[in-house]
A and B are shown apart, each in its own frame.
Chain A
């Protein structure tokens, strides 16, 4: 089965908050990441969180980590149409040579 799971789609209205969720299976995960991919482009690192942190905030982005439940979320406040993209969750573990395992990505669709 997948090591990192995400729902495939999320639709929100412009101005609302978006919450994209991710679950992972490896309890030894050290870093967890959120990447953004716009159509026809590569991935852009949005933010990351170290496993000893519960929360990280960066402007409109808030990352929450629940280590007990192995659950990671990305909240985007005041979502804009320019936030429409695919968002990938990824995690690294020491045993995997720190090669990230990526989820399948969540397509965020923002309606005007």
Chain B
């Protein structure tokens, strides 16, 4: 079955460390996204990529970095520059609107990152 896999489900990080969250999809989707979710704040866009080897900053990109070397993979690195990294991180993918018009997302099951 096709879908998006995020790993790990839970991640603990010491202050000052970088950590990388994995996101892999086998849906053949061109576009992939990273969101951060905090209680009561909904979803905030960190980075997105609409094609391999290209990505754009979202609303809260500071302290994060991404790469898109393969269509299937869009890892997110939370760097030590991110001042408040404890949150629930969601990865999503979609077919770009230029092809279908319907921009519905498929989401992964999320990674909960805690700084200790």
State how many angstroms separate the Cβ of B4 from the closest Cβ of chain A. Answer: 8
Which of under 10, 10 to 19, 20 to 34, or 35 or more describes the interface residues of B? 20 to 34
Interface residues in A84-106 by Cβ distance below 8 A to B read 88, 92, 94, 97-100, 102-105
Taking a contact as CB atoms under 8 Å apart, the answer to whether A41 and B109 are in contact is yes
State how many angstroms separate the Cβ of B40 from the closest Cβ of chain A. Answer: 7
Taking a contact as CB atoms under 8 Å apart, the answer to whether A42 and B42 are in contact is no
Interface residues in B88-116 by Cβ distance below 8 A to A read 90, 92, 96-97, 101-110, 112
B interface residues with partner A (beta carbon < 8 Å): 4, 6, 33, 40-43, 45, 48, 50, 58, 90, 92, 96-97, 101-110, 112
Taking a contact as CB atoms under 8 Å apart, the answer to whether B105 and A100 are in contact is yes
State how many angstroms separate the Cβ of A103 from the closest Cβ of chain B. Answer: 6
CA–CA, A50 and B104, complex, Å: 12
Question: Residues of A contacting B33 with CB < 8 Å?
Answer: 99
Question: Residues of A contacting B92 with CB < 8 Å?
Answer: 42-43
Q: Assuming A102-B43, A105-B42, is B105 touching A43 (CB within 8 A)?
A: yes
Taking a contact as CB atoms under 8 Å apart, the answer to whether A45 and B104 are in contact is yes
Total count of chain A residues near the partner, CB < 8 A: 24
Known interface pairs A40-B112, A98-B103; 10 further A-B residue pairs with C-beta atoms within 8 A, sorted by A's residue number:
A33-B104, A40-B110, A41-B109, A42-B108, A43-B43, A43-B90, A43-B105, A48-B102, A92-B97, A99-B45
CA–CA, A92 and B105, complex, Å: 12
CA–CA, A8 and B39, complex, Å: 11
State how many angstroms separate the Cβ of A22 from the closest Cβ of chain B. Answer: 12
CA–CA, A88 and B103, complex, Å: 15
Question: Residues of B contacting A102 with CB < 8 Å?
Answer: 42-43
Interface membership of A27, Cβ < 8 A: no
Q: Assuming A42-B109, A43-B90, A98-B96, is B104 touching A103 (CB within 8 A)?
A: no
